């Protein structure tokens, strides 16, 4: 975090500064990292005692103090000889501090901010943008999937006065949450990737999902840029909601940043990109999955708008073979067996894309195995969407389905009803059973996909299989 005095922090978050029993003064400067996790605290850091659904961060304030916290932001005073700022709500205070820091850094005139949202692809696109922009200047981007009301401001608080680019991943599970993050860090470029059924159960339907994602662009200024997916009708509809200049990306002919001549293979996807003005380049993109080309196009469009030359963009993209752990992560290798671990998260769109990639990379004379778990947070759509994925797996000719857990059982039943009745689809209750089944049945040359929502925990199964077949 940039250097701020205790008094400045208290003012920014609207809190009361307490210095009882300490040697600190209101003018004491704080410039450590900010976290809500006491395990991450180091000397000079700031600890926000966040209340959670199952726990209360105030319980961990003593541990934070022992590890050298220079400031505690709390909702009630704690009996510790550490400077404290008492606020009404620590999450609101965290956002207020992020807003203050972003404003101060932006006031120096150098910082450019990119906001990224969408039902799928946010983390991949964020990582692609970081790879491009950090070649140009100091760049801050979220660790992992820090994209909610806690993770996003923590990322913003990593800014320094030298930072040139901030890539802010903005997720939501309800209307209003993206708007809140946009108010903290006003993007110069706002990206909307796709609107699908991910979290539709939490949002209360697809219409509410569209409304939530459109918050990325509704408050953009005329001098800003909205980077929108020309291939998604729901995203296309957002063009009428923004004052910003719209730049379209996609495969459609109307897209200004467009991919053509796609060639999908086991090492990624090759494509030709064309940008506004007609300049084009061939891209050998090593991140597996044709669907990730759309994420690459969004990153290219934003980077071009930020003034990065196309050759530099292409060079950065070609340097990557993995966007993030557990996202189309290629493992294995023994006896020609490939394991694709894509089990960090799953929605109907990303599940379909992963299965299509599995079918596309299958070598002649080899088999494909899909180990699939539940797609969570779909609400009323859950049953029909699991049915649809079961049908798709059969129609794509996936050689063997292994369906894991009761939450995904309908996927197995639908596959059987569609024609996988001779053992092509197997149902097991646990990841351990799935591991044993795949190890027992895999043949040389097979390609194994592991895909589920994070809550199903199959990413660890993917790791086990990758290590076993290493």
Are residues 76 and 86 in contact, defined by beta-carbon separation less than 8 angstroms? yes
Do the Cβ atoms of 57 and 50 come closer than 8 Å?
Answer: yes
Which H or E run contains 168?
Answer: strand 165-169
311/281 Cα distance (integer angstroms): 8
Our CA angle for 105, 108, 111, nearest 5°, is: 60
Instruction: Output the six-digit token pair for 154.
Output: 């923590």
Dist. CA 458–CA 445, nearest whole Å: 22
DSSP secondary structure string, 113-142?
Answer: EEEEE-SS-HHHHHHHHHHHHTTTS-EEE-
Q: How many C-beta atoms lie closer than 10 Å to residue 52's C-beta? A: 10
Q: Name, in order, each residue with C-beta under 8 angstroms of 394's C-beta and a sequence gap of 6 or more.
A: 415, 418, 419, 420, 424
Report residue 168 as tokens.
């802010």
**DSSP E strands, 327-435:** 329-332, 338-341, 368-372, 400-404, 425-428
Q: Which among 170, 123, 130, 171 has a CA at the least distance from the CA of 328?
A: 123
Q: What angle do CA 163, 169, 175 make, to 5 degrees?
A: 135
* Beta carbons of 321 and 287 less than 8 angstroms apart: yes
Phi, psi of 171 (to 5 degrees): -110, 175
Q: Residue ranges for the binding site?
A: 118-124
Binding-site residue ranges for ATP: 118-124
Q: How many of the other CB atoms lie within 10 Å of CB of 359?
A: 20
Distance from C-alpha of 335 to C-alpha of 83, rounded to nearest angstrom? 60
């Amino acid at each position: 975090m940039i250097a701020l005095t205790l008094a400045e922090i208290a003012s920014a978050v609207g809190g009361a500064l307490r210095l009882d029993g300490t040697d600190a003064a209101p003018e004491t400067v704080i410039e450590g990292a900010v976290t809500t996790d006491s395990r991450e605290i180091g000397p000079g850091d700031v600890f926000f005692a966040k209340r959670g659904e199952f726990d209360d961060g105030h319980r961990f304030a003593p541990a934070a103090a022992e590890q050298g916290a220079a400031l505690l932001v709390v909702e009630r005073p704690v009996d510790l000889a550490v400077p404290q700022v008492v606020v009404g709500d620590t999450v609101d205070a965290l956002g207020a501090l992020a807003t203050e820091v972003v404003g101060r850094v932006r006031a120096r005139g150098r910082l450019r901010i990119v906001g990224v949202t969408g039902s799928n692809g946010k983390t991949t696109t964020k990582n692609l943008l970081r790879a491009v922009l950090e070649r140009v200047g100091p760049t801050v981007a979220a660790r992992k999937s820090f994209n909610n009301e806690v993770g996003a401001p923590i990322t913003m608080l990593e800014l320094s006065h030298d930072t040139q680019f901030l890539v802010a991943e903005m997720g939501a599970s309800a209307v209003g949450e993206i708007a809140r993050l946009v108010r903290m860090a006003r993007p110069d470029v706002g990206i909307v990737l796709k609107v699908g059924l991910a979290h539709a159960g939490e949002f209360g339907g697809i219409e509410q999902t569209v409304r939530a994602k459109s918050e990325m662009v509704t408050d953009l200024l005329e001098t800003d840029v909205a980077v929108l997916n020309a291939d998604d009708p729901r995203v296309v509809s957002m063009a009428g909601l923004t004052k910003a200049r719209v730049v379209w990306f996609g495969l459609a002919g109307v897209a200004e940043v467009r991919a053509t001549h796609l060639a999908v293979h086991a090492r990624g996807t090759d494509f030709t990109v064309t940008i506004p003005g007609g300049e084009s380049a061939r891209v050998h993109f090593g991140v597996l999955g044709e669907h990730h080309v759309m994420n690459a196009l969004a990153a290219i469009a934003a980077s071009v708008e930020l003034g990065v030359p196309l050759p530099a963009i292409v060079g950065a993209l070609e340097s990557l073979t993995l966007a993030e752990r557990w996202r189309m992560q290629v493992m294995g290798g023994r006896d020609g067996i490939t394991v694709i671990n894509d089990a960090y998260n799953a929605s109907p769109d990303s599940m379909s894309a992963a299965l299509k990639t599995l079918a596309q990379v299958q070598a002649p004379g080899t088999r494909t195995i899909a180990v699939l778990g539940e797609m969570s947070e779909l609400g009323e759509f859950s049953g029909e969407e699991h049915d649809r994925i079961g049908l798709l797996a059969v129609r794509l000719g996936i050689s063997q389905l292994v369906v894991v857990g009761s939450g995904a059982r309908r996927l197995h039943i639908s596959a059987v009803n569609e024609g996988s009745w001779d053992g092509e689809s197997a149902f097991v209750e646990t990841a351990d059973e799935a591991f044993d089944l795949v190890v027992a049945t895999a043949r040389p040359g097979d390609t194994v996909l592991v895909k589920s929502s994070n809550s199903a925990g199959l990413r660890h199964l993917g790791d086990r299989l990758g290590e076993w077949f290493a």
